Amino acid sequence: MNIPAILNYFKAMVPFRIIPAVITTVFLVVLLALPAPTGLDENGWRMLAIFLTTILAIILKVMPIGVMALMAIVIVSLAEVTSPSSKGAVADALSSFANPLIWLIVISVLISLGLRKTGLGRRIGLGFIALLGKRTIGIGYGLVFCELILAPFTPSNTARGGGIIHPIMKSIAHAFDSEPEKGTQGRVGTYLALVNYHANPISSAMFVTATAPNPLVLEYISKATGGHMHLTWVSWALAMFVPGVIAMVIMPLVLYLISPPELKRTPDAVSYARKELAMMGPISGKEIVMICTFALLLVLWANVPAMIFGDAFTLDPTGVALIGLFALLITGTIDWNDVLSEKSAWDTLIWFGALVMMADQLTKLGVIGWFSTGMKDVIAHADLSWQMTAAVLVLIFTLSHYLFASTTAHVSAMMLAFLTVGVMLIPAEYQAVFLLMMAAASSIMMTLTHYATGTSPIIFGSGYITMGKWWGVGFIMCVVNLVIFAVAGAIWWKALGYW
């Protein structure tokens, strides 16, 4: 046996990075060797160790993110921490692939193929350039405006930011020859992708109907206060309007400073766009089909039939996305080979599915409940002012989103406990400030990671933003947004009489 030849083969062909792989392996072994903390059983501790190791492996780029996600699925299957049987553990490890949210993300990516293939995306992108294209930041504000217009009527932030606005953003970037495949994403694409994404959490905080967990947040606020504070659609929108608009105005400017586009002024862009639009000619039949499909998706995602005919006509956002994809296929707007060849959609299915699975299992195994209870006990025994108590609770709740791949899961697992301890410790006359900050934070926390909510893997998967930039910019924008809502929000809520 030629040992040197075998070693040389593995050195040349095995795709993982040696030093990060060793660090990750040692990290897992050390965590598993430690005893489970008081209040957490052995299986819960092992699941937490697997989750943290997976996140570390992704951060260190041991292998492609999809491979690291598959590694987590394999470990969960073999470790049997979620079930005493191998069959049950495998079922748990694969459980998230039946999650409608996962498929909403995948299908949204596939639907966006139609914008590229029909040329409609390019037409829309050129239209934005013709209107606002003298400066890159102007195009960014165009995306912000789209997000604000759609947010009240689109209860899925994934459908809005990832399925509707992101294809438009990509088309604009392509018009400037800013594409990851060419290494030119920094021209305008990275900046626009960041604006595309960071508008999404802010708009989600502004309306009850802007993202799925908001109605649950509203219910938890009412429960925590014994019904004394019950927000309606109008009162929520009014309370969040001023800080939300301020955050929307400031966000593109902050991103322009910390991640500036290479092309800042585009004086020839307007004439270029008008010339290209003229060369494209009138709208084609396939473009009309694409427009009609998007209109249908928008109406159904906005739940318009239920508003007119009653709750019996409510459709799940993933079911709506399936209708849209099927419509594009049967009309020949895209074909099955297009679907099969869209690698980013299937890559997202694997890695995001694995992270959602682990987040769900952390909740089922009591890890999230253990964490929440521990924090509640610590804060309850600390001698803090009401302002510090509120700040600590909001920050811990927000930053703990690093452990979650779903805002709905995070809100379901932790929010009521945090609201309850806040109501216990904060004087009644100031509770509304804390409660409204928690409501805003439940959306603002989406900024943090590339798996924070359904929109993030779609935009991250397009390749315009590196993982390091995503996490760095995400943390900065999270802090900026929290400060805006804490300062401008508190002043506005004082004017509204909440405290």
Q: pLDDT value at position 185?
A: 92
Specify whether the CB–CB gap between 329 and 336 falls below 8 A.
yes
Task: Specify whether 54 is located in the same domain as 161.
Answer: no
Q: Assess whether 317 and 191 both reside in one domain.
A: yes
Within-domain flag for 5: no
> Is position 341 within any domain?
yes
- Position 82 in a domain: yes
Q: Which of these three, 297, 327, 345, is where a domain ends?
A: 345
Structural domain includes residue 7: no
CB neighbourhood size of 177 (10 A): 12
| CA neighbor of 416 nearest in space, from 438, 445, 447 | 438
In this prediction, residue 161 carries a pLDDT of 87
Domain of 249? 100-216+227-345
Count of domains forming the chain: 3
- Would you state the pLDDT for residue 159? 78
Over the range 456-492, which residues count as b (16 or more CB within 10 Å of their CB) and which as e?
bbbbbbbebbeeeebbebbebbbebbbebbbebbbeb
Measure Cα distances from 230 to 83, 192, 239, 497 in Å: 40, 37, 13, 14
Residue 120 confidence (pLDDT): 83
Residues 67 and 38 placed together within one structural domain of the fold: yes
CA 348 to each of CA 5, 162, 473: distance values in angstroms, whole numbers, following the listed order: 36, 13, 21
In-domain check, residue 128: yes
Contacts of 426 (CB under 8 A, 6+ apart): 386, 389, 390, 434
Provide the whole-model pTM.
0.74
Q: pLDDT tens digits for the chain (499 residues)?
A: 678 777 777 667 667 778 888 999 999 999 999 999 988 999 999 999 998 898 888 778 788 888 888 999 999 999 999 999 999 999 999 998 988 878 887 887 788 788 778 888 778 777 877 887 788 998 899 889 888 888 886 767 887 888 888 888 888 888 888 999 999 999 999 999 999 999 999 999 998 878 878 888 888 898 888 888 888 888 899 999 999 999 999 999 999 999 999 988 877 678 878 888 898 899 999 999 988 998 888 788 777 888 889 888 888 888 888 999 999 999 999 999 999 988 878 887 888 788 888 878 888 898 877 877 777 778 777 778 889 999 999 999 999 998 887 787 788 777 888 888 888 888 999 999 999 999 999 999 999 999 888 899 899 989 999 999 999 999 999 999 999 999 999 999 999 999 8
DSSP H/E element including 320: helix 317-330
Does 426 reside within a domain?
Answer: yes
* Distance from the Cα of residue 308 to its chain's centroid: 30
Provide the angle, in degrees to the nearest 10, between the axes of the packed helices 367-381 and 416-425: 10
Same domain, 174 and 60: no
